[in-house]
Structure 1
Amino acid sequence: MRGSERQHNLWYDRLRPAWSPTLSHDATNKNNLLLLVQLRWLAVCGQIITILFVGFGLGVDLPFLPMALILMALVALNVFSLLRARSQSALTNTELFIQLLLDVATLTAQLYLSGGATNPFISLYLLQVTLGAVLLQPWSSWALVALTALCFILLSLFFQPLALPHLHEGGLLQLHIQGMFFCFVLTAGLVVLFLIRASSNLRARDARLADLRQQSAEEHHIVRMGLLASGAAHELGTPLATLSVILNDWKRMPLFSKEPELTEEITEMQGQLARCKAIVSGILMSSGEARGEGMVRTTVTGFFDDLVAEWRASRSPRHLVFQNGFTPDAAIVSDLSLKQVIFNVLDNAHEESPSWMKVVTMRQGDNLQLTVTDVGKGFSQEMLAEIGRPYRSSKGRPGGGLGLFLVVNVVRKLSGTVSARNRPEGGASVTLELPLSSLSVKGSGNGH
């Protein structure tokens, strides 16, 4: 059991996803903070327009200087919030709570300077409570409710009364109703705008989490297959070694040495046996054993020249066109897992199109691009839609589709992409694109 557990840990370290729900939640918090910043800019513009209209349009004597200072503080808070949203550190619920508390504080200060609870814009507290209910955890949302209620009570007791123009009672009531109407329109518009955007952020987060869960399930599937493969490789080691000894003994026996045909067949069997042992060694290296031996420092051009030459020698395709157009060359570190991934793509193309295939490598900025083209029957639309899903294959045999599934997941682990398409003139092409940083000596520390 200890050997099995060790293999499991090695495979899991190589293939586990570099994500967590916490990271996705932090991204949602930062998106919501940016949305809060946008609403705050609207609030600043709305307050400026309202203050100017009430002060100069209605002739109400307002304390312009203190109100301007509060607006400047709100602008400074917004600038700080923008910088915070772009930082790398996680954004917590407490920080969002403090952001909304500062919004409540500035609103309370403006209301204190403009009539307190008699100001029709006091219902803007409901906007703060709505934001808190969506953005914050339950305890902080209820705390915000309690604080805004307390501010309402205090503003009904302590405030600076407004010097309103001399209007009769009906005129004052009409002015108050107009203020309430504008406040209602403003609050309703901002609430709808915020809820639509916040809901979009939440849906995007849920979709991202669903993709990550699917990716995690696929990578754990690879771990299980890796355990099976490495276990089978261990079990096959002994009988292969026994067969190798027997064939060597047979080749030295006079009975066989006198028969040239038998000797030739024994030599062929030894060659095939050596290939089987190489495959078993490759499986063990890819699963983590002899790991240092499996990693090779090379260049992109040298890697693909050697890889295609080896594949051509072992598979003997009828017609293979190879164009190594990667320039300028770059140093990389490769191991057997990367080599096996590309072998899988070449094997699939050769099986589908044994008469002709083409392999092209090129450089696209800081990425390596490999395209394998064939003249087979191509992919079905269902296959194109589910490229890289396990057991999705048009070959109709048990285990079909695992090769491309492994290709997609290993390439994704290296921060690359795999795409497939059908060619208009017939056949299909599969393109692998890998960032050179993930193949470099520095990047190989985590990727290999």
Structure 2
Amino acid sequence: MFGPGASMTALPTSNLRRIFLLRSIEIGGLLLAIVLARRVLELPLPLLPIAAVTGLLALVNLFTWWRLRQVWPVADGEFFAQLLVDVIAITVLLFYCGGSTNPLVSFYLVPLVIAAITLPAAYTWAMALLTASCYTLLMFNYYPLMPKSGDFSTAIYLHLTGMWLTFVLSAFLIAFFVVRMAATIKDRDRQLAAAREETLRNERIVALGTLAAGAAHELGTPLATMAVVATELQQDYAGEAALVEDLRLLRQQVDSCKHILSNMLAAAGQGRAEEAAAEPLNHYFDGLLEKWQLVRPGVAVKAEWQGALPAPRIIADQTLTQALLNLLNNAADASPKSVEILGRWQGGELQLEIRDRGPGLAPEVQQRAGQPFFTTKGHGFGIGLFLANATIERFGGKVMLTNREGGGVLTRISLPLTKLLIKP
């Protein structure tokens, strides 16, 4: 339901991988062309320079294979240099094989199209100028290539066949690269949109955190006043048992509010408290439910923990605890009588399911659930689920809300334990 955080793919690296593949095809095609030209078409090819260019391309491709295994990103200049190697190789081969009369001269379009798709305008214009210059030079400087028979009609037939073959190969190579590039660009755009959405959400969280910290400071004084007044009223009306019990409950709730605000202020601006006491995961859940039922004592809870014992020992962040409490409160608001909880841990991952028997989620609510300031309740600010999801995603997890058969909502939390486990 909520979008996962995805890391940006290295777009230039993907392009370099495709260049490696295209050059491998080019080397294979050269070897096949040499065999066909010498054995079938009986063309007097200069084998030494062609073999030298093919060998150099193979060495460059070997270096490219090594380069793809490195972690540093591929810069535009490096990618342009890779295309430049191919243009130089095409030029040398054409120089010894008929120059501009060779139909393979159209292969200059392949690196030009790739540059236009992947590189900034300056590199594209540089590639256009380079390929045009090479083509022009080959019109006047080249070794002519004719069949041994010297038959002009045979040369024309070979030329037309070569033009057809060049078009087919160029079309397939360009289509291959453009389709792959379009898919990569769409994926990049989706990731950029997700990153912008995450940045906007983080800005909202920072704003909410700032307001919450200010409110916590300002609420301290009226809560202290309420605690003092409640204590004095207990003393003044000690003979009225019902009123004293109500005042005791009021004082307990005030103390609970003060405790929550104190924890909020203590956790503000702090990361995971490494000095905090570690505890087994099942004990953490027991403490979480105990704390929650102090606030929601009227909700019947059926809880079950599944996993290998002894359970992993964790140090839970205060914000994660608050996020889980928010999700439990949402379930109790929808189903005030009973809530079911199932926790499972296995293979370094935690699955927590919170099940209620409320009215469920309407389709339009499912679409908007988790958006800030959206609520279907008659009270509240509509930020509980938003903050809970943001917190759980910060720990690498995700929240899914689905309707249950027979009514109610299943809230499933998936959370890797790597950020909670005690570091050795």
So what's the TM-score if we normalise by structure 2? 0.90
Question: Are the counterparts in 2 of residues 294 and 335 from structure 1 also a CA contact under 8 Å?
Answer: no
Question: Are the counterparts in 1 of residues 339 and 357 from structure 2 also a CA contact under 8 Å?
Answer: yes
Residues 1:304 and 2:285 are matched in the alignment = yes
What is the alpha-carbon distance in structure 1 between the residues aligned to residue 96 and residue 89 of structure 2?
A: 11
Structure 1, unpaired ranges of 5+? 1-16, 444-448
Residue of structure 2 equivalent to 1:45: 28
What is the alpha-carbon distance in structure 2 between the residues aligned to residue 18 and residue 203 of structure 1?
A: 17
Deviation, 1:395, is: 3.0
What is the alpha-carbon distance in structure 1 between the residues aligned to residue 66 and residue 355 of structure 2?
A: 47
Question: Structure 1 residues 383 and 44 mapped into 2: Cα distance closer, same or farther (>3 Å)?
Answer: farther
Question: Structure 1 residues 336 and 185 mapped into 2: Cα distance closer, same or farther (>3 Å)?
Answer: same
Residue of structure 1 equivalent to 2:376: 394
Which stretch has the larger CA shift, 210-219 or 277-286? 277-286
Residues 1:81 and 2:64 are matched in the alignment = yes
- Cα deviations by residue, 1:292-327 (Å, 9 ceiling, x for unpaired): 599553332221121112212331244211111132
Residues 1:407 and 2:375 are matched in the alignment = no
Alignment of 1:164-179 (within 5 A): 164-179=147-162
What is the alpha-carbon distance in structure 2 between the residues aligned to residue 193 and residue 200 of structure 1?
A: 11
Q: Work out the number of aligned pairs and report it.
A: 420
2:106 maps to a residue whose letter is S
Residue of structure 1 equivalent to 2:412: 431
Residues 1:91 and 2:74 are matched in the alignment = yes
Residues 1:383 and 2:365 are matched in the alignment = yes
Question: Structure 1 residues 113 and 434 mapped into 2: Cα distance closer, same or farther (>3 Å)?
Answer: same
Question: Structure 1 residues 249 and 393 mapped into 2: Cα distance closer, same or farther (>3 Å)?
Answer: closer
Question: Are the counterparts in 1 of residues 227 and 254 from structure 2 also a CA contact under 8 Å?
Answer: yes
1:335 maps to a residue whose letter is D
Instruction: Choose the corresponding residue for 1:114, options 97, 106, 131.
Output: 97
What is the alpha-carbon distance in structure 2 between the residues aligned to residue 317 and residue 70 of structure 1?
A: 82
What is the alpha-carbon distance in structure 1 between the residues aligned to residue 233 and residue 368 of structure 2?
A: 50
So what's the TM-score if we normalise by structure 1? 0.85
1:365 maps to a residue whose letter is G
1:84 maps to a residue whose letter is R
Deviation, 1:354, is: 2.0
Paired residue secondary structure (2:419): helix
Which stretch has the larger CA shift, 229-238 or 359-368? 359-368
Structure 2, unpaired ranges of 5+? none
- Cα deviations by residue, 1:210-258 (Å, 9 ceiling, x for unpaired): 1111121112111111111111111001111222233334445xx4334
1:348 maps to a residue whose letter is N
What is the alpha-carbon distance in structure 1 between the residues aligned to residue 69 and residue 379 of structure 2?
A: 50
Q: Larger % of helix: which?
A: 1
Deviation, 1:209, is: 0.7
Deviation, 1:289, is: 6.5
Deviation, 1:158, is: 4.2
Structure 1 runs of 4+ aligned residues shifted over 6 Å read: none
Question: Structure 1 residues 233 and 248 mapped into 2: Cα distance closer, same or farther (>3 Å)?
Answer: same
2:76 maps to a residue whose letter is N
Residue of structure 1 equivalent to 2:229: 246
Residue of structure 1 equivalent to 2:294: 313
Residues 1:152 and 2:125 are matched in the alignment = no
Deviation, 1:108, is: 2.1
- CA RMSD in angstroms comes to 2.7
What is the alpha-carbon distance in structure 1 between the residues aligned to residue 270 and residue 195 of structure 2?
A: 29
Residues 1:283 and 2:264 are matched in the alignment = yes
Deviation, 1:163, is: 5.2
Deviation, 1:69, is: 4.2
What is the alpha-carbon distance in structure 2 between the residues aligned to residue 102 and residue 311 of structure 1?
A: 67
Residues 1:354 and 2:354 are matched in the alignment = no
1:140 maps to a residue whose letter is Y
Question: Structure 1 residues 48 and 293 mapped into 2: Cα distance closer, same or farther (>3 Å)?
Answer: closer
What is the alpha-carbon distance in structure 2 between the residues aligned to residue 399 and residue 84 of structure 1?
A: 53
- Cα deviations by residue, 1:374-411 (Å, 9 ceiling, x for unpaired): 122222223334442223443355623x2111111111
Residues 1:218 and 2:201 are matched in the alignment = yes
Deviation, 1:70, is: 2.9
Question: Are the counterparts in 1 of residues 342 and 354 from structure 2 also a CA contact under 8 Å?
Answer: yes
What is the alpha-carbon distance in structure 1 between the residues aligned to residue 61 and residue 211 of structure 2?
A: 55
What is the alpha-carbon distance in structure 2 between the residues aligned to residue 387 and residue 50 of structure 1?
A: 62
Deviation, 1:425, is: 3.3
Deviation, 1:112, is: 2.7
Question: Are the counterparts in 2 of residues 363 and 369 from structure 1 also a CA contact under 8 Å?
Answer: yes
Which stretch has the larger CA shift, 208-217 or 236-245? 236-245
Question: Structure 1 residues 210 and 357 mapped into 2: Cα distance closer, same or farther (>3 Å)?
Answer: same
Question: Are the counterparts in 2 of residues 295 and 336 from structure 1 also a CA contact under 8 Å?
Answer: no
Paired residue secondary structure (1:167): coil
Question: Are the counterparts in 1 of residues 308 and 346 from structure 2 also a CA contact under 8 Å?
Answer: no
- Cα deviations by residue, 1:187-208 (Å, 9 ceiling, x for unpaired): 1221122112211111111111
